[in-house]
Structure 1
Amino acid sequence: MLDRRSFLIRGALAGAAAFAAGAAGPLRAAMSPPRWAPYDEAMVIDGCGFIGDADAGPGEALSQRLIDEARGSGLRVIQTTVGPVAQYEGAYEEAVRSIGLWENEIDRHPDVFVRVRNSADLERARREKKLGVVYQFQDSAPIGEKLERVDDFHRIGLRTVQLTYNVRNLVGDGCMEAGNAGISRFGHGLIERLNERRILIDLAHSGRRTATEAIAASKAPVLISHTGCAALVERPRNKTDAELRAVADGGGVVGIYLMPFLRESGQPMAADLIRHIEHAVKICGEDHVGIGTDNMLSPVELSEKYKARHREDIRDRRRLGISAPGESETVYLYIPDLNTARRFETLAGLLSARGHSDARIGKILGGNFARVMGQVWG
C-alpha cells in the first residue's frame, strides 16, 4: 500500500539476461528465466520490499493484481516499510496509520498474508505457502524523543527499526552526512531499548561511524537489510568491507539490494547483483548474506508515464536533500533481467548456474534472514 508520497520518500527512491564469466550478455526476451527446483519449498525473504502501486491514493486497498502477484511470487516473508523517513512532524501518527492499513489488508486476505511477529510465524508462512509481512521502519523518526514509543510500536507489530535514513536524526548520522558523527547519547539509549524489546536493528542508510558504533553497542545481531558493496562501487549507500565483516562477526546478515548503486553508471543487471552477492559472501561468509531488494514486488512497466514520474521523484528527492549519489533520472529502480514477481527464483537459477550449492542459495534467498529474525524475535 504505497501512495504517491510514500513512493517519493521510500528506500532509495524507490525474459532473463544471459550471464557468464561475471558479465551480463544482451537481453534475450525469448529465453525462459532459469528455474531453481527447491524454490517453492524454500524460505524466501525480501529484507526490504514493497507491495503497492505508486498511482494509488492514500489508504487505497491493494488491487487484485497486486494480491495475485504477491500470491504467485514465491516470497514467504517481506519486510515492508511503515511510516515516513526524514520527517519528525506527524511521523508517529503516520506510522500508526500505516500499520493499521496493513493490518486491514492482512485481515481481508488471510489466504495470502500472515502477520509475522516471531520465529513460529516465519515457519508458518513457509509451511502454508503464504506471504508473511514484517513491519519495518526505515528511520527511527516515528519514535521521536520518547523511548516508550518502542513499547507501543512493538505491541502493534513493529519488529525491525532502521536507525537512520540518509540524513542526520536524533540517533545518529545517515550516510549523506559529511560529519560522520556516529551514534548520539539518545541513540545508545534507543539501541538498548530495542534490544530489550527484541526488535531487530537495521543499519541500512547509516553513516559509517554510526554503523560501526551501533554494531558494537547492540547486544543482539543486527541487519543491514539493503545495501551494496563499497569495495565494488564506492557510494554512500554501499557498505565497506569492514562494516560488512563487523555485521557478520556479530552474527547478523547483510542484504544486497537491486538498486542503481550496484554499478558506476547505467542500468544495473543481474550480473551486477551477483557480483555484489559473491563479494559479500567472500567477506561475510555464506551464513551472513541475504537479499533486500528495495524494490516493488511487482514488475516494472517501463512506460513513458513511469519514466516521467521517476524523473519527478528524483528531482523532489534532491530538493528535499535526501537524494544519494548514484541516483539518476535515467536509471530506474529495477533490474531488467529480474523484472518479474518471481525474481528470487530467477536469481536462484543464475546462482546455481554459477556453481553455488543449493544449500548456499537457500541461505542467501532467506534462510540467513530467518535465522537472525528468529534469534532476535524469539
Structure 2
Amino acid sequence: MFAATAPVKPAWAGLADAIAIDTLGGPGTYDAEPYTPLTEAMLADAKASGLTAVNLTVNGASVGNYARNYEDTVREIAYWNAQIAAHPDALLLVRRASELAEAKRSRRLGLIYGFQDAAPFGENLDRLDTFWDLGVRIYQLTYNKRNLVGDGCLEPANAGLSMFGRKLVEKLNARKALIDLSHAGQRTTLDAAAMSKAPIAITHTGCAAIAPFPRNKTDEELKAVADKGGYVGIYLMPFLRGKGQPMAADLIAHLEHAIDVCGEDHVGIGSDGVISPVAVTPEFKKKFADEIADRRKRGISAPGEDPNVYTFIPDLNRADRFDRIAELLAARKHSDARIAKILGGNFARLLNDVWGV
C-alpha cells in the first residue's frame, strides 16, 4: 500500500483559488525521528498537497507530561523556527489571519503553532505571554486524560472545567487566542463552549452518532460549538468506523453528518496526520504496533486504537488528499462553494473572527 504521486493539475478545479487548511497536521513523514530536519521530499509533498496552512502541534514530544512539557515545548518551537528559517521559500509562520493570504499567494505552507493539552502551562497561566510571543495561537485544553484544566475524553468522572481551567479560558479570550476542545471530555467541551466569549474549535474529531468512541463528539457538543460561531474538523483516524480500517467513504459520512448538525459554515478537515504518505512496510508495522503499546502503557491510548488499524485512510494515503476529498464531495453533488468552505474557508473565517486581521 503505497501512495500515488500527486497530479500536477488538481482534480477539483477550485483548489487553485481555495484556502485549504488542515486543522491538525504538518509536514514530514510518519517514520521521521524527532527533530529531524525536513528533507526536499517532505517539502515537495507539502507543495503538492495544495494546502495553504496547517495547525501544527508544537508540544507533541511529551504530551500529557507535566514534568517535561514546558521545556520540551520550547525546544519543539525552536526546532520549527529553525525549519522555517532554513526553508523561507517553502514555509511561513502564521501569527495573524491576514498571513493566510500571503501563504496562498507565495505558495508556501503556513504553519500555525498549536498545543494539544495545557500541560505546558504547568500551574502558571502567566506562561501564556511567553507562548504567545513564541507564536502559539491555538490552545487545546486537554488531552485524553485529566489535567489541571479539566477532564479529557477518557476520564470516567466527566467532571468538566476546573476553576483553573475557567481562568485559562478567560485569559485565552482576552488574548484573542483560539481555544481547541479536541480530546476534551463532554462536560469540559460544553463548559468551555458555554463560557467562552469567542468562537471555539474542535480541530480534529469525529461524530459519535456514527461511531460512539470517546474521541468523537456527540451532536450536542457539535451543535454547541457551531452555535457559538465555531468550527469542527473531521479527522482521518481509526475512530471513524466502529470496527476495522476506515476508508474515504467513512470520512465523507462523518463530514456530511457534521454538516447536517452544524451547518456548512462550521465544518472542515483536521487530518491528525503528516502530509507525506505512509509506506506500509514491515518496519512501519512494527513501529506502529510499538507506538500503540507505548500509548497504552502511558494511559493515553483511546478505545479504537489498534495496531492493525492505521491512523490514516488507505485510499487517501497521498500528499494531495485534500484534492481527492474535494473530488469525492463534488461527486456527491456538494457545491464548489461548500467544498471551498470545508477545505479551509470555514477555518480561515474562524481565525479572522477570533484573532482579528
TM-score, with structure 2 as normaliser:
0.96
Structure 1 stretch displaced more, 199-208 or 119-128: 119-128
SS at match of 1:333: coil
Q: Give the match for residue 17 of structure 2.
A: 41
Q: Distance in 2 between matches of 1:57 and 1:265?
A: 30
Q: Distance in 2 between matches of 1:56 and 1:314?
A: 17
In structure 1, give the amino acid aligned to 2:322: F
Percent identity over the alignment is 55
In structure 1, give the amino acid aligned to 2:58: V
Q: Which runs of 4+ in 1 moved over 4 A?
A: none
Task: Give the CA deviation at 1:55.
Answer: 4.0
1:144 equivalent in alignment to 2:158: no
Q: Distance in 2 between matches of 1:231 and 1:341?
A: 29
Q: Distance in 1 between matches of 2:304 and 2:320?
A: 26
Task: Give the CA deviation at 1:72.
Answer: 1.7
1:90 equivalent in alignment to 2:55: no
SS at match of 2:265: helix
Which residue among 75, 84, 90 is the counterpart of 2:51?
75
In structure 2, give the amino acid aligned to 1:249: D
The unaligned stretches of length 5 or more in structure 2 are none
Task: Give the CA deviation at 1:156.
Answer: 0.9
In structure 2, give the amino acid aligned to 1:192: E
The unaligned stretches of length 5 or more in structure 1 are 1-14, 17-28
1:262 equivalent in alignment to 2:240: yes
CA deviation map 1:319-372 (0-9, x unaligned) = 111110000010011111111100000000010010000000000000000000
1:191 equivalent in alignment to 2:191: no
Task: Give the CA deviation at 1:210.
Answer: 0.3
Which residue among 186, 190, 193 is the counterpart of 1:212?
190
Which residue among 289, 309, 322 is the counterpart of 1:331?
309
Task: Give the CA deviation at 1:54.
Answer: 4.3
Task: Give the CA deviation at 1:58.
Answer: 3.7
Q: What is the number of residues matched between the two proteins?
A: 352
1:104 equivalent in alignment to 2:82: yes
Q: Is the 8 A contact 1:34 1:349 kept in 2?
A: no
Q: Give the match for residue 252 of structure 1.
A: 230
Where does 1:1-378 land on structure 2 (aligned, <5 Å)?
35-83=11-59, 84-378=62-356
Q: Is the 8 A contact 2:330 2:339 kept in 1?
A: yes
In structure 2, give the amino acid aligned to 1:278: E
Query: What root-mean-square deviation, in Å, do the aligned CA atoms of Structure 1 and Structure 2 show?
Result: 1.8
CA deviation map 1:244-287 (0-9, x unaligned) = 00000000000000000000111110000000000000000000
SS at match of 1:201: strand
Q: Distance in 1 between matches of 2:16 and 2:30?
A: 29
Task: Give the CA deviation at 1:130.
Answer: 1.4
SS at match of 2:23: strand
CA deviation map 1:118-148 (0-9, x unaligned) = 1111111112221100001001100111111
In structure 1, give the amino acid aligned to 2:53: V
Q: Distance in 2 between matches of 1:285 and 1:56?
A: 38
TM-score, with structure 1 as normaliser:
0.90
SS at match of 1:78: strand
SS at match of 1:133: strand
In structure 2, give the amino acid aligned to 1:175: C
In structure 2, give the amino acid aligned to 1:95: T
Q: Give the match for residue 5 of structure 1.
A: none
